[in-house]
Copies of this chain bind each other. A is one copy, B any other.
Amino acid sequence: MDQHLTPRTTPVTDGAAARRIVIVGGVAGGMSAAARARRNDERAEIIVLEKSEHVSFANCGLPYHLSGEIERRDDLLLHTPQSLARALDLDVRTRHEVVAVDPAAQAVTVRGPHGEHQIGYDALLLAPGGVAVRPPIDGLDHPAVHTLRTIPDVDALRAEVDRITSAQTPGAAPRAVVVGAGFIGLEAVEALTARGVRVDLVELADQVLPPLDAELAPLLADELADHGVGLHLGVSAQSVHPAADSHRVTVALSDGTRLAADLVVVNVGVRPAGDLAREAGLDTGPTGAITVDADQRTSDPHIWAVGDAVEVVHAVTGAVGPVPLAGPANRQGRRAADSMTGRRTTPQATVLGTAIVRVFGLTAAVTGASQATLRQAGIAHEVVHLHPAHHAGYYPGAETMHLTASFAPDGRLLGAQAVGRSGVDKRIDVLATALRAEMTADDLAELELAYAPPYGSAKDPVNMLGFVAQNVLSGAMPQWQAWDLDEALRTSLVLDVRSAAEFAAGHLDGALNIPHTELRARLDEVLEAADGRPVKVHCASGVRSYLATRILLAHGVDASNLSGGWLTLEAARRSAAPLPPRVPTTRVTNDPEEIPA
């Protein structure tokens, strides 16, 4: 029996301070809660139980320690039990795993270095995080197989990379296979490549970064290929076994490919660590995540839960399930602490799923619902595609961004995504804020963002998303989509309003080429070629073809504009191809609407 098991004398009621707060899990949500609880209540006894040997470590920083960008391992360890005791009077116990919760007795069973004991609590917070999903791959226990979720993981991976890069024999460059092209998988690919390891990336989905819209993903695939990464999309890894050649193992894929590797990194996602809660009789949902109320309280009035293990509500779809993101976890921790200590809480926000990843020189970011998610949820939407410069095009260094945004028929923003070399994080953060405020296309059009040539445009890309969506939703600019191409070719005249030179460099079979500046004079040619069929217009990015579409509509032609133009078409057409050709990410055309000032 532990000396800390004192009788509970003060039951937790609103407005009253908790006598002893026990927190299970000392990273992100758990540690945010501990710190906030102390600031709220100087007198509470606050015990943090962490099963690993590290608390409050920067787990989002692990890939950057693997790459060597974060040189010192200590930089990942922002706090120690000692520093937390000094600053916040916390009783932090590492290597202490909670193996059972007894809600009736208000006590947890802890397995520590000296055996099992019980600790009573007045308020309990569960922040157990997620459990790495183990894919069904034979040989996954081979010592060459790693994952990347903890400090020991990155220690082991760094040691292994050091070994294989120094032991390198001529003609046998060190090689790795990364299984899973999600956020952490992509960061691992980048880190290993930076260390001189030749990487093959294996992903079950037909694209890298499955949360990304299919017509954006090829941009990342290009960037990976440009950095020597071998892509294996739409296939699964089936087995890992000792290799016959100079490398350590062979990874066999479902398409018959056999990949030589010195190490394998598997990151195919996490599932909520809800077992402890479920075994304690707390409500959990169909995904196994812990059910909580708006104050993060579980079905037991003395137990709260936060982080990757709890259910959240998606802001756009209303779907309920876990979302493993650091930002929400931290805020949930703060909210739970406020609730546990009787403070006013901020009403629980839904989750947008805002996320971002760097892939070599590109940034990809998402917020709200992807198109696939909207389709699955049966939510009506119009998607618009833009390829604006990240700042004024006339100022040196303008980089093309690739944006998608989905809007409900009433104009409400539902989701947005972006890929590009600069300015992506800013636009996604603005759009995430707009989503949270339930803004519409009209609202985006009217946002007043900071403009000077090095930073943006008088009409910022976010304003442009609003303008284009207004035009689409009002009917002023009917649009067709890249995935309508086959039907368009079958039923319509395709009118390509790019320059003759652009047309000569590549175009759709059967397309009529009339540069947009000549359209007014050559309308008869269009009418003759269309012969009563609809006219599907396109240019490189959708801007010139918008002008052309308006001209045609004014003359009574059934015209529509290809959303995102040739750039989106090219990407969408090859979004399922394993090693797709290039989509240029440099500026292709000036925007006639861009009237800087």
Contact = CB atoms under 8 A, between A and B. Distances in A.
Contacts of A175: none
Given A60-B392, A60-B452, A395-B61, A459 B356 contact: no
B354 A60 contact: no
A403 to B, nearest CB: 14
Nearest to A544: B87
Contacts of A349: 446, 448
Interface string A120-149: 000000000000000000000000000000
Contacts of A352: 448
Interface string A169-196: 0000000000000010001000000000
A480 to B, nearest CB: 18
Given A334-B467, A355-B450, A451-B356, A78 B594 contact: yes
A448 B460 contact: no
B460 A392 contact: no
Contact of A425 (B354, B456, B550, B592): B456
Most B CB contacts (10 A, CB to CB) among A353, A446, A544 go to A446
Contacts of A88: 547, 592
A427 to B, nearest CB: 8
B70 A597 contact: no
A339 to B, nearest CB: 14
Nearest to A307: B597
A362 interface: no
Contacts of A446: 331, 346, 349, 436
Interface stretch (A29-37, A224-232, A579-587): A29-37
Contacts of A554: 41-43
Given A88-B547, A327-B458, A597-B330, A430 B428 contact: no
A27 B458 CA distance: 12
Interface in A222-271: none
A447 interface: yes
A59 interface: yes
Given A88-B592, A592-B87, A327 B448 contact: yes
A329 B355 CA distance: 33
Interface string A34-54: 010001111100000000000
Most B CB contacts (10 A, CB to CB) among A60, A326, A450, A555 go to A450
Interface stretch (A3-11, A152-160, A437-445): A437-445
A498 interface: no
A594 to B, nearest CB: 7
A330 B448 contact: no
A56 B593 CA distance: 11
A294 to B, nearest CB: 12
A226 B70 CA distance: 30
A330 B595 contact: yes
B448 A351 contact: yes
Interface string A57-93: 0111100100001100001101100000011110000
A357 interface: yes
B64 A595 contact: no
Interface in A472-523: 474, 476, 516-517, 520
B458 A436 contact: no
Given A70-B395, A334-B467, A395-B64, A42 B550 contact: yes
A590 interface: yes
A326 B463 CA distance: 13
Contacts of A325: 448, 451
Contacts of A330: 458-459, 595, 597
B426 A58 contact: no
Interface in A309-335: 325-331, 333-334
- 3 nearest interchain CB pairs? A28-B597, A42-B554, A437-B437
